[in-house]
Amino acid sequence: MQQAPKTPPSPLTRLETMLLIRAYEHQLVELQKNGAPGTCTSVGQEACAVGVVAALESRDRIVTNHRSAGHLIARGAEPRRLMAEVLGRVDGYCGGRSGSLHISARELGVVLTSTIVGGELSMAPGVALAQKMGKGEPGGIVAVFFGDGAACEGIFHEALNLAVQWQLPLLFVCENNQWQAFVHRLETMPDNAIANWAKGHGLPVETVDGNDAEAVLEAAAHAIAHIRQGGSPAFLELVTYRQRGHFEPDDQAYVAPAELDYWRARDPIDRQVQRLKAQGLIDDNGLTALERQTQASIATALAFAQTSPWPAPETLTDHVYA
Amino acid sequence: MSTMIQMTAAQAINLALREEMRRDPDVFLMGEGSATKHRDLVDAFGPDRVRNTPLAEAIIAGTAVGAAASGLRPVIDLLFAPFMTYAMDALVNSAGKLRYLSGGQFRFPLVAMGMTGTGWCVGAQHNHNIEAMFVHTPGVKVVMPSEPADFKGLLKAAIRDDNPVLFFIDLGLLCQEGEVTEDPDFIIPLGKAAIRRSGDDITLVSYAKTVAVCLQAARQLAERGISAEVVDLRSLKPLDENTVLDSVRKTGRLMVVHEASGLCGIAAELAALVSTKAFPSLRGPVVRLTGPDAPIPSSWALEQAVVPQPERVVNATLELLGAAHSVN
């Protein structure tokens, strides 16, 4: 298995990655307006992805869901191959069979992806069990990303119970982005429910500002150290916000403008920019240069994806069975 | 030649597990009472490889999927087939689809076992022949054996297969005895039907314990001078089309008999198969004797009304032959 890229070492690299994730997803939004398949974007949640993935090592594995662009790019996925996948082309990570919703990239350790809400939680304990039974790289752990919507599925409790009872090396990462498809989470669950439910299962739980990449990294590193040391699971609730709709296109007419304003004022990328400026690690010129560079790389990726061939119809039933 | 010994289907399952766990350290067993039921396997292979689980089918199946994609070969016992509906996301959406959707990055070598079938008066939430649901599911295979030797041979083949295999156990067969080889290399390949009795006038196709019903009917028909061939499908997917087609080309008549309900079932599929690929050979309509579109009741009297009885097979055959004669 190919090594995943080195952990981004600095807050500046994390800003770069967040800019790349956002530019990539904005490009997908534009493509959709011109008829490309819609996607579930993670705009506003980039700090969760870069923070947690920065704390993981190449020997670790990721199990994720349909809102996965951030996890994949933070892990080193190439935007051109992701975009080719979204457009259904052969150069996509899954040869165009996945589209945006269930992209996995085994070579990067992003091993299983389900778009069924809760599906990622059902599979992750098995990946961690295999790790524990000697199948992964020594000392590796598994991180599973899911949302507050999945926390309302019964499988949430089944997975937590099993991971605790069997002492599995599994990091639960709940990106609490406030919206469950088209329903605000406070219509479906009590406030603080996620952390309280998790605590009821008897594992370490931390609730973190999910729009602060450095806070996420610190909490994830702490949780992962616990898992590596004791071989037992840990839980992170990352409080964040889904700035765009459930799926493109979605005009978000159901979201109060004041709510969007509140969260846009807490944007994770702006937050990282302010931090770096305060530390003298970037200035306006540097930021502009970074943004231009990111745009250029997305433009190159798009050109690659759009010229990648369509899969041949005669391959339709390839890979159904092993 | 290796020794044949008498054992029940339940013992054949245990023997298959023992042999495959000895052969391949990646094979492990988990489920609702797996360690409780198979103490001998816990003693032989340790508690890591024989695990009791919570009564939570979704996470048992999901865990099997994750483990299978990561290099292990899990066998899961979900007890009763209707309980599998709790595990449908893992079995159908994950195990059945994620190899394909990932462009072949993963394989899911796992076996999911579940019991079903009449004879125990347990009612529809423990007895529901849902095998056709999984035949309709891309990416998974389905087997349902009829005798102890096949329980062993098919389970071993299922464990060695690199795809998810649904292993349905007809409850009424578990305590029945039969001859089973002790040869650890003996397997019954998936997708191979067996001809249990040769005949020329009609092909009776079945699987699981209904095979015995067809054999009984064939004996009664023989007394009337009618020669019935009995085909045991053994695997429902892959389906051994050639064995069925060859038989129908010889006999000219097909009757499919199973406990599962008829709508969109195995019998319907075989009727379509034969009318598409062996139409000129047919000397009469394809007959389906199946369970009704109804939940299975507990009452013995009603449960037996669900089961295709030998008399029904005999009568339907006589009717079919009579009709054929009158046409001739």
User: What CATH code is carried by the domain that includes residue B157?
Assistant: 3.40.50.970
Q: Residue B63: what pLDDT?
A: 98
- Which tens digits make up the pLDDT trace of B124-137? 999 999 999 999 99
In this structure, the answer to whether residues B156 and B246 fall within a common structural domain is no
- Which tens digits make up the pLDDT trace of A65-91? 999 999 999 999 999 999 999 999 999
- Which tens digits make up the pLDDT trace of B6-52? 999 999 999 999 999 999 999 999 999 999 999 999 999 999 999 99
Helix orientation angle between A79-86 and A284-307, rounded to the nearest 10 degrees:
50
Using pLDDT thresholds of 50, 70 and 90, give the confidence band for residue B323: low
- Which tens digits make up the pLDDT trace of B203-238? 999 999 999 999 999 999 999 999 999 999 999 999
Handedness of CA A177, A181, A186, A189 (dihedral sign): negative
Mean pLDDT confidence for A272-279: 98
DSSP A44: T
Question: How many angstroms separate the CA of residue A165 from the nearest CA in chain B?
Answer: 10
Does a structural domain hold residue B141? yes
Percentage with pLDDT > 90 across chain B = 96
Whether the CB-CB separation of A119 and A68 falls below 8 Å is answered with: no
Q: Residue B325: what pLDDT?
A: 47
Residue B39 CB coordination number (10 Å): 10
Is A318 in the B-facing interface, judged by CB distances under 8 Å? yes
Whether the CB-CB separation of B220 and B256 falls below 8 Å is answered with: no
Smallest Cα–Cα separation from B59: which of B21, B99, B32?
B32
Residue B60: closest C-alpha in chain A:
A122
Does a structural domain hold residue A311? no
In this structure, the answer to whether residues B199 and B177 fall within a common structural domain is no
Q: Residue B328: what pLDDT?
A: 37
Q: Which residues of A touch B139 (CB under 8 A)?
A: 320-321
In this structure, the answer to whether residues B71 and B198 fall within a common structural domain is no
Q: Residue A214: what pLDDT?
A: 98
Q: Which residues of A touch B106 (CB under 8 A)?
A: 104, 106, 111-112
In this structure, the answer to whether residues B92 and B199 fall within a common structural domain is no
Residue A317: closest C-alpha in chain B:
B100
User: What CATH code is carried by the domain that includes residue A133?
Assistant: 3.40.50.970
Whether the CB-CB separation of B214 and B38 falls below 8 Å is answered with: no
Does a structural domain hold residue A306? no
Q: Residue A206: what pLDDT?
A: 98
In this structure, the answer to whether residues B126 and B158 fall within a common structural domain is yes
Range of the domain at A54: 11-301
Is B45 in the A-facing interface, judged by CB distances under 8 Å? no
Q: Which residues of A touch B57 (CB under 8 A)?
A: none
Catalytic positions of B, written as ranges: 57, 126
Smallest Cα–Cα separation from B61: which of B83, B35, B90, B85?
B90
Is B280 in the A-facing interface, judged by CB distances under 8 Å? no
User: What CATH code is carried by the domain that includes residue B226?
Assistant: 3.40.50.920
Does a structural domain hold residue B138? yes
Peptide bond into B148 cis (omega under 30): no
Contacts A–B by Cβ distance under 8 A: 152
Q: Show the DSSP H helices in A102-256 as ranges.
A: 119-132, 148-151, 154-165, 193-200, 213-230
Put simply, the answer to whether A98 touches B62 (Cβ < 8 Å) is no
Put simply, the answer to whether A106 touches B103 (Cβ < 8 Å) is no
Does a structural domain hold residue B246? yes
B-interface mutation test, from A1, A158, A201, most B Cβ less than 10 A away: A158
Is A112 in the B-facing interface, judged by CB distances under 8 Å? yes
B-interface mutation test, from A59, A90, A123, most B Cβ less than 10 A away: A123
In this structure, the answer to whether residues B113 and B40 fall within a common structural domain is yes
Put simply, the answer to whether A159 touches B103 (Cβ < 8 Å) is no
Q: Which residues contact A94 (CB under 8 A, 6 or more apart)?
A: A85, A102, A103, A104, B101, B102, B103, B105
Structure tokens of A165? Answer: 């009872």
ipTM above 0.90, yes or no: yes
- Which tens digits make up the pLDDT trace of B66-110? 999 999 999 999 999 999 999 999 999 999 999 999 999 999 999
Residue B143 bridge partners (DSSP): B167, B235
For A273-282, b/e burial (b = at least 16 CB within 10 A) is bebbeeeeeb
Does a structural domain hold residue A315? no
Range of the domain at B67: 4-181
Cα separation of B225 and B252, whole Å? 17
Does a structural domain hold residue B288? yes
| E strands, chain A, in order | 61-64, 110-113, 142-147, 170-176, 179-180, 183-184, 205-209, 234-239
Whether the CB-CB separation of B203 and B267 falls below 8 Å is answered with: no
Residue B105: closest C-alpha in chain A:
A106
Residue A122: closest C-alpha in chain B:
B62
Does a structural domain hold residue A318? no
Cα separation of B241 and B221, whole Å? 25
Number of domains in chain B: 2
DSSP A241: -
Does a structural domain hold residue A152? yes
Does a structural domain hold residue B229? yes
Handedness of CA A256, A257, A263, A268 (dihedral sign): positive
Smallest Cα–Cα separation from B222: which of B197, B240, B187?
B197
Structure tokens of B245? Answer: 């087609």
* Sheet of strand B228-232, all strands in order from the earlier edge strand to the far edge: B194-197, B228-232, B202-206, B254-261, B287-291
Q: Which residues contact B103 (CB under 8 A, 6 or more apart)?
A: A92, A93, A94, A95, A96, A97, A98, A319
Put simply, the answer to whether A159 touches B59 (Cβ < 8 Å) is yes
Structure tokens of A118? Answer: 């809760």
Number of domains in chain A: 1
Using pLDDT thresholds of 50, 70 and 90, give the confidence band for residue B2: confident
In this structure, the answer to whether residues B263 and B303 fall within a common structural domain is yes
Mean pLDDT confidence for B118-123: 92
Cα separation of B169 and B142, whole Å? 11
Cα separation of B115 and A82, whole Å? 43
In this structure, the answer to whether residues B156 and B215 fall within a common structural domain is no
Whether the CB-CB separation of A115 and A66 falls below 8 Å is answered with: yes
In this structure, the answer to whether residues B43 and B148 fall within a common structural domain is yes
Does a structural domain hold residue B77? yes
Smallest Cα–Cα separation from B241: which of B206, B203, B193?
B193
In this structure, the answer to whether residues B123 and B10 fall within a common structural domain is yes
Q: Which residues of B touch A131 (CB under 8 A)?
A: 70
Question: How many angstroms separate the CA of residue A143 from the nearest CA in chain B?
Answer: 13
In this structure, the answer to whether residues B145 and B214 fall within a common structural domain is no
Q: Is B280 exposed, middle or buried (0-12, 13-18, 19+ CB in 10 A)?
A: exposed
Mean pLDDT confidence for A116-140: 97
In this structure, the answer to whether residues B222 and B157 fall within a common structural domain is no
Q: Which of B181, B210, B231 is the last residue of a domain?
A: B181
Q: Residue B326: what pLDDT?
A: 43
Does a structural domain hold residue B312? yes
Cα separation of A144 and A132, whole Å? 16
Is A312 in the B-facing interface, judged by CB distances under 8 Å? no
Cα separation of A276 and A15, whole Å? 9
Q: Which residues of B touch A118 (CB under 8 A)?
A: 89
Residue A129: closest C-alpha in chain B:
B67
Does a structural domain hold residue A307? no
Q: Which of B143, B160, B181 is the last residue of a domain?
A: B181
Using pLDDT thresholds of 50, 70 and 90, give the confidence band for residue B1: low
Mean pLDDT confidence for A305-310: 98
Structure tokens of A60? Answer: 């670790």
Does a structural domain hold residue B187? no
Q: Which of B160, B181, B202 is the last residue of a domain?
A: B181
Is A321 in the B-facing interface, judged by CB distances under 8 Å? yes
Is B162 in the A-facing interface, judged by CB distances under 8 Å? yes
